[in-house]
């Protein structure tokens, strides 16, 4: 079974070797008497594969041999083959591994294991691929420390045995796999798998014990002539260095930038040759195209007298294509003729036209007929209308199997099978007939509109435009004139407004008060162009500003206010559709809640995430760095100036947060719901693709109005289920259930927190983005964004593929096959960042409902609180209760506050009623004295929210909140609380009698104290708003649904 695999074998090579070995030793392949031995051998091969394929286990094996895995092997293996032998054979001999003095096994000499390659996409212009180019760039990488030579400690210092893992470098942990907990061997988080570590005073002064230091180096790559899309350029050994491993390579994958003139296929090029009709007939001699090296390509036509160039004729220019990489030969250039005919009024006089008739070839003899009808014709006909749904016209459904199965003979005019039996209906035939009926309906509606003189105020699909009730109201000329007059004062004409063109609103959320969305002031210009080019009229208007980092006491207070105001605008003004300019956290749900309530065609355009942030050449994520900086400041590691600088570096450009915070989450989910163009959510705000998307969104909304494609057609139960699944896969914000459930309520779809647990918890985390992962927004976009994530989920059978989206296609059609090339940023479904990464819906005696985000639970937190083998995924602790963030900041650093490394921190009085607005204050860091001891997180529970950019594993959104009579209000310092994630419960460990006594005492004192309202809206909000578990909606507002259909025409204003 010697497989001759190198020590640095790739995962693909290991997988192939395993399949071969497993097949050879499979029990089903041997005689009955040999089956028992084969089963033992097969299990051993399986265990060997599990160790070699997993990076952490493989590192443990490299370091400690099989001692890292239950001593000398699996005691259940009996007298079967030794796993060390199997592994040695798989690697062809593993001499000197893990301090074991080498292992038997033939094969080639061992080489150090190779560290991972760094894979990057590199965009190259077609000009550079034609000519070749050398590119120099600066690269920063980790190199073995020159002082300690990768040891990590001072020259004579001795490493200390790690007490956490007893010097083994590994430990056993319990991990949830589906409904069960399984024991796994993982690298020790303290010594990082080495089994030992250096004390702070013994660490190398240069590398601080990290064994590597950063080095900046100029690198050079050569792009060869003739290189093509997908080619690799490898810089060998230039990836990060790792002690004891051979450096990996930097691998650039060439991405060919689309060229405005040329298209490439292999070594050939094609371009359009634009010529006039005169040139097609009489000839020319001129430069027709500028080549990729700057040369002009000149053509003389005709070669022979009388030759004519025809439209779509192809001229082949030999040897003017792309160069071949390995020879001096070149491909060919193909010029496709495009004859530009003159405009309608090109001829100056009838005499000249007659003269032209005499020169040109004479027409064919006229067709003779006994009866002749002179008919009218439409000079702008379109073959898309040809056939009106008949499959022979090209618009019906085709059956791929028709050519394979001979058709049976049927009776004339009958649908029987030829034997008198009725043939069963075929679903595709039914769909074709249904499509034909729809097309026929459209034709009849269009004819009816013309007959009734109302065509100008109807869309092509025949439905009346809302704006016609303002601008084409023939029954009330006085109001018609009043509605039009003032819109003429800034350049619109009466002809435009009465033309029947769709009137499209642009809901502008950008302003100086909303820096996250301010870039929309520029993007709206492109939206306008798209609307106009598609035949619509754009009306831009401001929405209520919402800036997460600017509004006090909390921006969530304004979500419902922005919703209310936008509902009034969309319903009360002459708008047929709307482009919702979204971005910062609450702007997206506010817009979608309003669009669903009114239910006119609507589409979202996200402002886009900002560019990646950097500090000392390390990635810094907006929002997420704030919480990290707070910890560093509290621990005394940075001063105020460094705090300010660090936070500002996380926000380097226009756009919303570049992490998977609430903004990125909600805009990704708007796309997942079908309310934004595919691929639009992740485009960074400064990228040119964002402007392109703005234009395309403007074009799309006009088409949606003409087809009457409304939010209620798109945001169905299936679409909301997709959003829940996608939220888990992207590591979405804990604010998502609040907003998604609110949107669903306003459109009449029942979505609950139980759905989030039942549908979403078992989905894996696929997107490796802060705060749950490592990367930021630019990588998310380049890796494929939402379509790439949904493609993985679709392949795994986790999505409803048949739901409609804003572009008229199904979700499945939009994302199928869009899987990412970057398998680190967007992981395959079978190799995720984390299994079972969704929200847990928790209940108990402390509250009726709360959620916990599992994908941000750190290994430190899990080890401390969730890995007790006698009580897995559960813990108990004494609480310290804070009444609002002011109380927390006042007391957290007080030594009298009884906080230790097992304390549960409680934040109350911060819900929708208590704050008001439900502030993002539940994520609390430990006091500085604990931070300095290495305790970076404690369990937090609260009735408020936390920022989507936070990595705190808090239990939050607790309902009912303290201010609404929830049991959080009677909790006291020192009370004990039990959290059991397996049972989905959080309970106060005091008697029910004591709880009731406390509730009665609190009621007698007038209930839980809340600060007085400071504005009229705060008072109204407190009176009308529901709890976080119900989406924090205005209770009375959810009864207003599909308003534009229920009350199609608002009353006149005069």
Percent of the chain's residues with pLDDT above 70: 83
**Mean pLDDT (whole number) for 933-943:** 93
Per-residue pLDDT of 955-1006, as tens digits, reads 999 999 999 999 999 999 999 999 999 999 999 999 999 999 999 999 999 9
Q: Name the residue with higher pLDDT: 873 or 429.
A: 873
Torsion 565-571-575-579 (CA) sign: positive
**Mean pLDDT (whole number) for 889-900:** 94
Per-residue pLDDT of 358-375, as tens digits, reads 888 888 888 877 777 777
Listed ranges 160-169, 252-261, 735-744; the one with the highest mean pLDDT: 735-744
Per-residue pLDDT of 617-667, as tens digits, reads 888 888 888 878 888 888 888 898 888 888 888 899 999 999 999 999 999
**Lowest-confidence segment of 386-395, 646-655, 741-750 by average pLDDT:** 386-395
- CB of 968 within 8 A of CB of 846? yes
For position 155, what pLDDT does the model report? 85
Work out the pLDDT band at 740, boundaries 50, 70, 90. Answer: very high
**Lowest-confidence segment of 463-472, 754-763, 904-913 by average pLDDT:** 463-472
Percent of the chain's residues with pLDDT above 90: 55
Residue 499 has pLDDT above 60, yes or no: yes
For position 601, what pLDDT does the model report? 98
Per-residue pLDDT of 902-928, as tens digits, reads 999 999 999 999 999 999 999 999 999
Work out the pLDDT band at 158, boundaries 50, 70, 90. Answer: confident
Q: How far is 459 from 474, CA to CA, in rounded Å?
A: 18
CB count in 10 Å sphere of residue 316: 11
> What are the distances in angstroms from CA 419 to CA 407, 408, 409, 789?
13, 10, 9, 51
Per-residue pLDDT of 822-857, as tens digits, reads 999 999 999 999 999 999 999 999 999 999 999 999
Q: Name the residue with higher pLDDT: 870 or 253.
A: 253
Q: Name the residue with higher pLDDT: 264 or 412.
A: 264
In sequence order, what are the beta bridge partners of 269? 264, 333
Work out the pLDDT band at 953, boundaries 50, 70, 90. Answer: confident
Residue 54 has pLDDT above 80, yes or no: no
- CB of 26 within 8 A of CB of 2? no
- CB of 718 within 8 A of CB of 800? yes
For position 390, what pLDDT does the model report? 57
SS3 state of residue 474: coil
SS3 state of residue 797: coil
Work out the pLDDT band at 395, boundaries 50, 70, 90. Answer: very low
Q: What is the DSSP string of 852-874?
A: EEGGG--HHHIIIII--TTSTTE
For position 215, what pLDDT does the model report? 86
The reply to whether 264-343 shares the fold of 118-159+198-256 is yes
Residue 315 has pLDDT above 80, yes or no: yes
> Domain spanning 11-63: which CATH class is it, in words?
mainly alpha
| Homologous superfamily assigned to 264-343 | Urease metallochaperone UreE, N-terminal domain (2.60.260.20)
For position 488, what pLDDT does the model report? 94
Task: Give the helix ranges, DSSP H, for 476-554.
Answer: 477-485, 494-497, 520-533
Torsion 106-107-108-111 (CA) sign: negative
- CB of 746 within 8 A of CB of 780? no
Listed ranges 320-324, 370-374, 384-388, 420-424; the one with the highest mean pLDDT: 320-324
How many Cα atoms sit within 13 Å of 277 on the Cβ side? 7
Delimit the domains of the chain by residue range: 11-63, 118-159+198-256, 264-343, 460-489, 856-1011
Per-residue pLDDT of 770-825, as tens digits, reads 999 999 999 999 999 999 999 999 999 999 999 999 999 999 999 999 999 999 99
Which of the 8 DSSP states describes residue 388? T
Per-residue pLDDT of 656-700, as tens digits, reads 999 999 999 999 999 999 999 999 999 999 999 999 999 999 999
Phi, psi (rounded to 5 degrees) for 434: -60, -40
Residue 107 has pLDDT above 60, yes or no: no
For position 48, what pLDDT does the model report? 74
Task: Give this prediction's pTM.
Answer: 0.60
List all residues 6 or more positions away from 237 whose beta carbon is below 8 Å from its beta carbon.
246, 247, 248, 249
Q: How far is 978 from 996, CA to CA, in rounded Å?
A: 19
- CB of 333 within 8 A of CB of 320? yes
For position 445, what pLDDT does the model report? 56
Torsion 147-149-150-151 (CA) sign: negative
For position 72, what pLDDT does the model report? 38
For position 473, what pLDDT does the model report? 85
Per-residue pLDDT of 439-448, as tens digits, reads 676 566 555 5
Helix axis angle, 662-673 relative to 587-598, nearest 10°? Answer: 30
For position 320, what pLDDT does the model report? 92
Q: State the architecture of 856-1011 in CATH terms.
A: 3-Layer(bba) Sandwich (3.50)
The H-or-E segment that residue 120 falls in is strand 118-124
> What are the distances in angstroms from CA 221 to CA 173, 214, 459, 836?
45, 21, 56, 42
How many Cα atoms sit within 13 Å of 35 on the Cβ side? 6
**Mean pLDDT (whole number) for 290-294:** 90
Work out the pLDDT band at 45, boundaries 50, 70, 90. Answer: confident
For position 156, what pLDDT does the model report? 84
Which of the 8 DSSP states describes residue 194? S
CA proximity to 820, closest of 769, 783, 795: 783
Instruction: Classify strands 268-276 and 263-265 as parallel, antiparallel or unpaired.
Output: antiparallel
Listed ranges 86-95, 348-357, 465-474; the one with the highest mean pLDDT: 465-474
In sequence order, what are the beta bridge partners of 134? 222
Q: How far is 744 from 723, CA to CA, in rounded Å?
A: 11
Residue 452 has pLDDT above 50, yes or no: no
SS3 state of residue 366: coil
Work out the pLDDT band at 887, boundaries 50, 70, 90. Answer: very high
List all residues 6 or more positions away from 243 whose beta carbon is below 8 Å from its beta carbon.
144, 150, 151, 211, 212
Q: Name the residue with higher pLDDT: 34 or 475.
A: 475
Which of the 8 DSSP states describes residue 765? B
| Homologous superfamily assigned to 118-159+198-256 | Urease metallochaperone UreE, N-terminal domain (2.60.260.20)
Question: Is the peptide bond prior to 355 cis by the omega test (within 30 degrees of 0)?
Answer: no
Rounding to the nearest 10 degrees, give the CA dihedral for residues 389, 395, 396, 400.
170
Average pLDDT score, the chain: 85
For position 186, what pLDDT does the model report? 72
SS3 state of residue 834: strand
């Amino acid at each position: 079974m010697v497989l001759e695999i190198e020590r640095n074998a790739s995962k693909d090579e290991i997988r192939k070797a395993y399949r071969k070995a497993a097949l050879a030793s499979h029990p089903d392949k041997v005689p009955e008497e040999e089956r028992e031995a084969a089963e033992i051998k097969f299990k051993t091969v399986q265990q060997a594969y599990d160790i070699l394929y997993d990076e952490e286990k493989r590192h443990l094996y490299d370091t400690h041999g099989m001692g890292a895995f239950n001593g000398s092997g699996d005691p259940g293996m009996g007298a079967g083959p030794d796993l060390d032998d199997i592994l040695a054979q798989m690697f062809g001999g593993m001499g000197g591994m893990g301090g074991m003095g080498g292992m038997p096994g033939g094969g080639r000499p061992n080489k150090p294991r190779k560290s991972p390659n760094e894979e990057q996409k590199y965009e190259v212009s077609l000009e550079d691929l034609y000519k070749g180019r050398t590119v120099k760039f600066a690269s920063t990488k980790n190199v073995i420390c020159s002082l300690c030579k990768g040891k990590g400690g001072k020259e004579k210092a001795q490493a200390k045995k790690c007490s956490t893992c007893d010097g083994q470098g590994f430990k056993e942990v319990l991990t949830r796999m589906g409904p069960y907990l399984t024991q796994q061997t993982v690298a020790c988080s303290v010594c990082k798998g080495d089994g030992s570590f250096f004390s702070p005073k013994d660490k190398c002064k240069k590398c601080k014990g990290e064994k590597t230091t950063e080095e900046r180096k100029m690198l050079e790559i050569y792009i060869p002539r003739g290189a093509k899309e997908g080619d690799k350029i490898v810089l060998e050994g230039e990836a990060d260095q790792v002690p004891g491993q051979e450096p990996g390579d930097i691998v650039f994958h060439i991405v060919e930038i689309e060229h405005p003139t040329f298209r490439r296929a292999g070594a050939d090029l094609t371009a359009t040759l634009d010529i006039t009709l005169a040139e097609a007939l009489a000839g020319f001699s001129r430069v027709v195209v500028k080549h990729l090296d700057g040369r002009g390509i000149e053509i003389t036509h005709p070669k022979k007298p009388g030759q004519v160039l025809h439209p779509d004729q192809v001229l082949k220019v030999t040897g003017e294509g792309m160069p071949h990489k390995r020879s001096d030969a070149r491909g060919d250039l193909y010029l496709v003729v495009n004859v530009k005919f003159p405009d309608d009024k090109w001829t100056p006089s009838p005499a000249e036209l007659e003269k032209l008739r005499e020169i040109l070839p004479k027409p064919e003899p006229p067709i003779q007929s006994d009866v002749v009808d002179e008919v009218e014709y439409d000079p702008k006909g379109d073959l898309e209308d040809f056939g009106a749904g008949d499959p022979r016209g090209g618009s019906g459904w085709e059956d791929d199997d028709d050519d394979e199965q001979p058709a049976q003979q049927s009776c004339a005019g009958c649908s029987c099978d030829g034997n008198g039996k009725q043939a069963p209906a075929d679903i595709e035939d039914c769909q074709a007939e249904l499509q034909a009926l729809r097309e026929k309906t459209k034709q009849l509606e269009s004819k009816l509109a013309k007959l009734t003189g109302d065509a100008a105020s109807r869309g092509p699909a025949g439905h009346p435009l809302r704006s016609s009730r303002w601008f084409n109201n023939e029954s009330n000329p006085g109001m018609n004139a009043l509605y039009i007059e003032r819109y003429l004062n800034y350049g619109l004409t009466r002809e435009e407004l009465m033309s029947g063109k769709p009137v499209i609103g642009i809901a502008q959320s950008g302003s100086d008060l909303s820096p996250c969305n301010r870039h929309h002031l520029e993007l709206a210009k492109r939206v306008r162009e798209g609307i106009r080019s598609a035949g619509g009229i754009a009306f831009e208007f401001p929405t209520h500003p919402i800036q997460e980092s600017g509004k006090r006491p909390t921006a969530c207070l304004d979500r419902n206010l922005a919703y209310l105001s936008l509902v009034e605008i969309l319903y009360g003004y002459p708008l047929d559709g709307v482009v919702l300019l979204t971005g910062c956290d609450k702007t997206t749900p506010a817009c979608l809640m309003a669009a669903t309530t009114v239910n006119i065609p609507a589409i979202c355009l996200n402002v886009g995430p900002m560019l990646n942030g950097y500090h000392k050449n390390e990635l810094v994520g907006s929002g997420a760095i704030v919480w990290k900086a707070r910890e560093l400041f509290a621990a005394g590691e940075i001063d105020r100036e460094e705090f300010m600088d660090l936070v500002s570096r996380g926000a380097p450009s226009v756009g919303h947060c570049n992490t998977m915070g609430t903004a990125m989450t909600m805009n990704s989910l708007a796309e997942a719901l079908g309310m934004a163009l595919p691929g639009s959510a992740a485009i960074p705000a400064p990228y040119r693709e964002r402007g392109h998307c703005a234009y395309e969104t403007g074009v799309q909304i006009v088409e949606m109005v003409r087809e009457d494609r409304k939010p209620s057609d798109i945001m169905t139960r299936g679409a909301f289920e997709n959003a829940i699944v996608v939220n888990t896969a992207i590591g979405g914000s804990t604010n998502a259930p609040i907003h998604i459930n609110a949107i669903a309520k306003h459109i009449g779809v029942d979505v609950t927190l139980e759905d989030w647990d039942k549908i979403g918890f078992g989905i894996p985390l696929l997107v490796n983005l802060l705060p749950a992962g490592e990367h930021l927004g630019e990588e998310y976009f380049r890796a494929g964004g939402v379509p790439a994530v949904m493609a993985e989920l679709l392949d795994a059978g986790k999505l409803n593929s048949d739901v409609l989206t804003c572009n008229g296609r199904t979700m499945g059609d939009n994302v199928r096959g869009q899987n990412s090339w970057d398998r680190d940023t967007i992981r395959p479904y079978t190799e995720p960042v984390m299994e079972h990464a969704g929200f847990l819906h928790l209940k108990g005696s402390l509250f009726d409902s709360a959620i916990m985000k599992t994908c941000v639970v750190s290994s430190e937190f899990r080890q401390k609180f969730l890995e007790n083998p006698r009580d897995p995924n559960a813990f108990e602790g004494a609480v310290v209760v804070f009444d609002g963030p002011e109380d927390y900041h006042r007391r957290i650093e007080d030594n009298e506050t009884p906080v230790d490394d097992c304390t549960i921190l409680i934040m109350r009085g911060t819900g929708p009623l208590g704050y008001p607005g439900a502030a993002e204050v539940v994520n609390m860091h430990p006091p500085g004295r604990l931070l300095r001891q290495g305790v970076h997180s404690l369990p937090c529970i609260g009735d408020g929210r936390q920022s989507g950019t936070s990595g705190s594993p808090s239990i939050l959104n607790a309902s009912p909140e303290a201010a609404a009579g929830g049991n959080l209000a009677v909790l006291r310092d020192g009370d004990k609380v039990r959290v059991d994630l397996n049972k989905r419960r959080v309970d106060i460990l005091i008697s029910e009698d004591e709880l009731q006594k406390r509730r009665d005492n609190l009621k007698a004192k007038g209930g839980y104290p809340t600060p007085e309202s400071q504005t009229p809206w705060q008072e109204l909000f407190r009176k009308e708003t529901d709890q976080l578990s119900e989406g924090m909606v205005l209770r009375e507002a959810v009864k207003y649904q599909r308003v534009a259909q229920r009350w199609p025409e608002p009353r006149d204003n005069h």
